[in-house]
Amino acid sequence: MSKQLTPDICVIGAGSGGLSVAAAAAAFGVEVVLIEKGLMGGDCLNYGCVPSKALLSAGKKAFALKGNSAMGVSASGIEVDFGQANDHVRAVIAAIAPHDSVERFEGLGVTVLQNQARFVSPDCVVAGDAEIRARRFVVATGSSAAVPPIPGLSDVPYLTNETLFGLRAAPEHLIIIGGGPIGMEMAQAHRRLGAQVTVIEAQKALGKDDPELSAVVLDRIREEGVDLYEQTAVTSVEARDSKIIVHIEGAGNEPTSIEGSHLLVAAGRKPSVDGLDLEKAGITFDRNGISVDKGLRTSNRKVYAIGDVTGGLQFTHVAGYHAGLVIRSILFRLPISENRDIIPWVTYTSPELGHVGMTEAQARERFGGKVKILSADYSGNDRAQAEAATQGRLKLIAGPGGKLLGADIVGAQAGEIINLLSLAVSQGMKMKDLAGFVAAYPTLGELVRRAAISYYAEAPKKPWIRQAVRFLQVFG
């Protein structure tokens, strides 16, 4: 090897988590080597969150231009230029890319190696002609699209999130395998931008979210013209006359087939561990990812793993959360413990769907009858009425003593509202805290206070409270 490097920290993977670790460590004057074999910024910037939300935004603009006849606004002759929508996606990536670039990180003092990293021993990594022996290693290689073993799939051209955003023309008919957040977001975006869209989901679409609230999203997407098949298996795929034929079989239904022009596989993610030679470092892993303890350490105590590669909650903000934890552990020797109960997530469809903390089922399993479900409908919110955005509901999950255990929301700006509730969950707030803050009027944020106040709805009916009021009235 021509280069022998001995940094304090070696980070493998320049996605959200890896970049955060490298930047934070460098800010404290710690020597860092950052290794990335692909594009800086990782999946989120180049193939995931950023391009998908940019395309969703273009779809929302196209949908909004149609107007709302109930508000006295209508439009006709709306045209969508899918190529320009794709230009918008590229422009957004280009605007953010300098923040994640090699040049910026080298300017911060980080040594960046653009090559494949692989372990050769428990305390040594090789990347190109460099050998890195660090005090601590952080594996942050993320995940990639999982491709299910469907007969014929390997013989037809199909898209994943890594190739979808290269399309310059709207698909005539986009068939999507997978009804999770990615599948449903891209279904709605492409439908609004002019494509015919069919989604096939083996189980329940948006199945990780509250079923009552996810149904609101699915009904809306169906109303917009997306064909959604749930509890339906894809039995095989074939190409025929420049078309893609997807053969399906649903529960209790006769087998049938769907003909489309494009096929998107959005059937989950797999951890990116290929080529790392983790075995040589004594790092335990399986098909679900690298095994870590609550402190995000692997079976090799010199090595941490963060983000998607650990196989847990696969969100950019989780990778960032993990990065903050390992910095505390590596630099300051502070004890750390991942807490998944405080992690929010949002599906950015219209309406948006958000969640934080425990689900209702988890809360009832842990606390039984001590759980109360409090709700507030968008239809009862003045701002929602003014904006004709009354389709939605907020649910708060209150535990013993009125502690906020979790929350679910569907509706306009659900992602912004869930941020407030994420803070409340992380700080262990109770219903009295959420009922006691002053919300600006008229805002959708008033939904939180309205739902929390309902926790005390039975108080006026309690005899001892009524007696106390009457007693105090005696004193004027």
Count other C-beta atoms under 10 Å from residue 90's C-beta.
Answer: 13
Amino acid at 355: H
Closest CA to 425 of 309, 302, 306, 343: 343
> 181 a known binding residue?
yes
Count other C-beta atoms under 10 Å from residue 212's C-beta.
Answer: 13
Closest CA to 370 of 429, 455, 259: 455
User: Which H or E run contains 183?
Assistant: helix 181-192
Count other C-beta atoms under 10 Å from residue 351's C-beta.
Answer: 22
> 225 a known binding residue?
no
> 358 a known binding residue?
no
Strands 130-132 and 124-127: antiparallel
Residue with tokens 């909650």: 313
Quick one: the chain helix, strand, coil %, rounded to 5? 40, 25, 35
> 461 a known binding residue?
no
Dist. CA 199–CA 219, nearest whole Å: 13
Closest CA to 116 of 292, 277, 320: 277
Amino acid at 99: H
Cα-based distances in Å from 126 to 32, 295, 330: 15, 26, 22
CB 117 within 8 A of CB 126: yes
> 142 a known binding residue?
yes
> 131 a known binding residue?
no
> 166 a known binding residue?
no
The length of the chain in residues reads 476
CB 434 within 8 A of CB 423: no
DSSP 17-43: HHHHHHHHHHHTT--EEEE-SS-TTHH
Alpha helices in 341-381 (DSSP H): 360-367
Alpha helices in 65-180 (DSSP H): 82-96, 102-107, 161-164
> 141 a known binding residue?
yes
> 241 a known binding residue?
no
Residue 192 phi/psi, 5-degree rounding, is -70, -20
> 143 a known binding residue?
yes
Cα-based distances in Å from 232 to 194, 202, 251, 263: 25, 5, 7, 16
> 53 a known binding residue?
yes
Annotated binding site for NAD(+): which residue ranges? Answer: 178-185, 201, 268
Annotated binding site for FAD: which residue ranges? Answer: 53, 141-143, 308
Annotated binding site: which residue ranges? Answer: 53, 141-143, 178-185, 201, 268, 308
